[in-house]
Amino acid sequence: MKKVLLLKFGELFLKGKNKREFEKLLMENIKRKLSSFSFNLEQVVGRIIISDYDEMEENLIVKNITTVFGLVGVSKATMVNSTLEEICDFVSNIKIDGTFRVNVKRADKKFPLTSVELERKLGEVILNKNKNAKVDLHNPEYNINVEVRFNNETFIYYETIKCDGGLPLGSGGKALLLLSGGIDSPVAGYLMAKRGLKIEAVHFHSYPYTSEQAKEKVITLAKELSLYCDEIKLHIVSFTKIQEQIHMNCDSEYMITIMRRIMMRIAEKLCEQNELGAIITGESLGQVASQTMQSINVTNSVVSLPVFRPLIAFDKEDIVEIAKKIGTFETSILPYEDCCTVFLPKYPVIKPTIKKAEYQEKFLQIDELVREALNTKEEIIIKR
C-alpha cells in the first residue's frame, strides 16, 4: 500500500503516432514544474504516477500540478496490489456515514472480476462495515473510485482535482504576445499557452508619457503569467518617438490604426530575430475602434506571420472571469496608463481602409522608426 498522485491527461489520446512525443514533453514539463520537490515520476498506460514525495508537501505539489497544460485531473490516491483480497481489505477500512457509489475502471482485463462485478463486491464490503451507509448511484455524498491498471497496480481515490487541460507547453511552437497593461492580453497569452505555445512577450512603453509604474505593472503581469507559461522573455520597446511622429504627421482619426500597424511590424521583426512563428494579441471583435473587422484587416496587412486572436469572440465578462482565475486581474486594473491611451484621438476611425492607412504612412519614415525602436529594446527574463 502506497500514497501516490494519479495524473490524468486528455487530448493526448487523440495524437496517434505522435502521442509519444507529446507524452515525453508532458513528462519534462511536470519535472520542471516540480523541480523544487523530491519525488519519483512514472508513466503507466493512460496515467502518470507521482510517488515517494513528502506527504507534508502534497497539497503544494497538487497546486503546482494543476497549472501544467496537458493534464486534465490529479487525484490523491492509494496504490494497492491488484488482488481482490487487498482491494477489499483497503475498502473495508473506509468510514462512510451517508450515501456512496463505487466506480470501477478495469484497464487490466486479466483481473478476474468485471467492472460491474467488482463494484457490487466492494459495495457489499462497505455496506457490511458501515451501518449508516446507503448506495446512491445518481447523487452520492461519497465517490469511491477504483482503477485496476496494469503491472498489478490498483489505485483507489475519492475525488479528482481539475487541471487546466490543453496541450503540453512547447508542443505547438513559440509565439510573441503583445502584452499591454490591460485585462485582455495576459488572458490571450494564457489561452495560447494552453494550446501548447511557448510565449515570449513584447511591451511598448512611451516614457515619459507613461510612468515607470506602468512598466513595472507589465513585468508583474508577465511574472503572473509565467506560473502557466514557465519562463518568459519580455521585450520592452520604446514607442515614444513613434507616437510623437504619428501625432505630428498623421490625421488624428488614423493615429491608432497607424500605431497598431507599426507595432505589428516591430513584433514581426522580433519574431524573426527570436525564431517565433506567430503573433498573439488580446483583441476582441468590436470591443474598441481598433478591433472592428476593418481595423483588424488593415492591421494584419503589414505582416506575413499568422496572428492569433484567441479572445476574438469573447465577451468582456468572459475575459474578466479567466483573468480572475489565472490571477492577473487585480494587477491589470491598477490605474497606470499604457501607450495605447496616451495619444488617444477623440474620434478614431472605425472602418479604416488599407489605401488610406498607406497614404497616412507616407508622411512617416516607417523603416527608420521601426529600426530605432528595436534599438531601444530591453530584454527581461521572467521566471515563475
Domain of 322 in residue numbering reads as 173-382
Q: What is the pLDDT of residues 320-332, one digit of tens each?
A: 999 999 999 999 9
Kindly state whether residues 335 and 300 are assigned to the same domain.
yes
Whether residue 266 sits in one domain with residue 146: no
Give the per-residue pLDDT at 131. 92
Secondary structure letter of residue 37 according to DSSP: S
Where does a domain end: 104, 138, 162? 162
In a domain, 106, yes or no: yes
> With contact defined as beta carbons under 8 Å apart, do 147 and 6 qualify?
yes
Q: What is the pTM of this model?
A: 0.93
CB 277 within 8 Å of CB 174: yes
* Segment (H or E) for 210: none
Residues 180 and 245 in one domain: yes
Q: Check whether residue 54 and residue 74 sit in a common domain.
A: yes
Segment 324-350 shows an average pLDDT of: 82
Same-domain pairing of 241 and 216 = yes
Q: Are residues 144 and 177 in the same domain?
A: no
**Cβ atoms 146, 103 nearer than 8 A:** yes
Cβ contacts of residue 238 below 8 Å, gap of 6+?
A: 204, 205, 206, 207, 373, 376
- In terms of domains, do 114 and 12 share one? yes
Task: Decide if 373 is inside a domain.
Answer: yes
**Cβ neighbour number for residue 300 with a 10 Å cutoff:** 18
Could you tell me the sign of the dihedral formed by the alpha carbons of 13, 19, 20, 26, in that order?
A: negative
Question: Would you state the pLDDT for residue 338?
Answer: 66
Whether residue 155 has pLDDT greater than 80: yes
Beta strands in 82-230 (DSSP E): 99-106, 134-135, 142-148, 153-157, 161-162, 173-178, 197-205
Range 106-118 average pLDDT: 95
Q: Judge whether 172 and 205 are in contact, CB under 8 Å.
A: no
Cα separations (Å) of 47 from 6, 267, 318? 7, 40, 32
Q: Look at residue 8 and tell me if it is in a domain.
A: yes
The string of pLDDT tens digits covering residues 291-315 is 999 999 999 999 999 999 999 999 9
Q: Does residue 356 lie in a domain region?
A: yes
On the 0-12 / 13-18 / 19+ scale of CB atoms within 10 A, 35 is exposed
CA triple 265-268-274, angle to 5 deg: 145
Give the residue with greater pLDDT, 210 vs 66: 66
- Count of domains forming the chain: 2
72 and 31 part of one domain: yes
4-43 tens-digit pLDDT: 999 998 887 666 778 888 999 999 999 999 999 999 999 9
CATH number, residue 357: 3.40.50.620
Per-residue confidence band for 116, with pLDDT thresholds at 50, 70 and 90: very high
Residues 123 and 33 in one domain: yes
* Torsion angles phi and psi, residue 72, rounded to 5: -105, -15
Note the residue count of the chain. 384
Tally of CB atoms within 10 A around 277: 13
Q: Which three cell numbers stand for residue 217?
A: 505593472
Q: Would the pLDDT of 343 be above 70?
A: no
- Separation between Cα atoms, residue 349 and residue 353, nearest integer Å: 10
Closest alpha carbon to 40 in 10, 5, 76: 5
Whether residue 125 is contained in a domain is answered as yes
Compute the CA torsion angle 285, 191, 19, 6 (nearest 10 deg): -140
Domain boundary (162, 188, 205) is at 162
CATH of the domain at 45: 3.30.2130.30
pLDDT for res 35: 94
Contact by Cβ (8 Å): 339, 209: yes
Q: Which of 141, 162, 183 is the last residue of a domain?
A: 162
Residues 158 and 181 in one domain: no
Residue 168 within any structural domain of the chain: no
Q: What's the CA gap between 147 and 4, in Å, rounded?
A: 13
Residue with cell 504612412: 361
The residue type of 353 is T
For the segment 62-79, the average pLDDT, to the nearest whole number, is 97
What pLDDT, on the 0 to 100 scale, is given for residue 383?
A: 86
Neighbour tally for 261: CB within 10 Å: 23
Residues 62 and 94 in one domain: yes
Partners of 26 in beta bridges: none
Mean pLDDT, all residues of the chain: 94
76-99 residue pLDDT tens: 999 999 999 999 999 999 999 999
Tens-place pLDDT, residues 194-244:
999 999 999 999 888 888 898 999 999 999 999 999 899 999 999 999 999
337-248-298-308 Cα dihedral, nearest 10 degrees: -30
Residue 357 within a domain: yes
Q: Domain check: are 103 and 53 in the same one? A: yes
Q: Which residues contact 131 (CB under 8 A, 6 or more apart)?
A: none
pLDDT of residue 292: 94
Residue 64 lies in a domain: yes
The reply to whether omega before 208 is within 30° of 0 (cis) is yes
Contact 200, 276 (CB under 8 A): yes
Query: 331 is written with which cell numbers?
Result: 494587477
DSSP 328-344: -HHHHTSS---HHHHT-
Asked whether the predicted pLDDT for residue 340 surpasses 60, the reply is no
The larger pLDDT score, comparing residue 223 to residue 335, is at 223
Q: The C-alpha cell of 213 is what?
A: 509604474
> How many percent of the chain have pLDDT more than 90?
87
Non-local (6+) Cβ contacts of 204 within 8 A are 180, 237, 238, 239, 263, 266, 338, 339
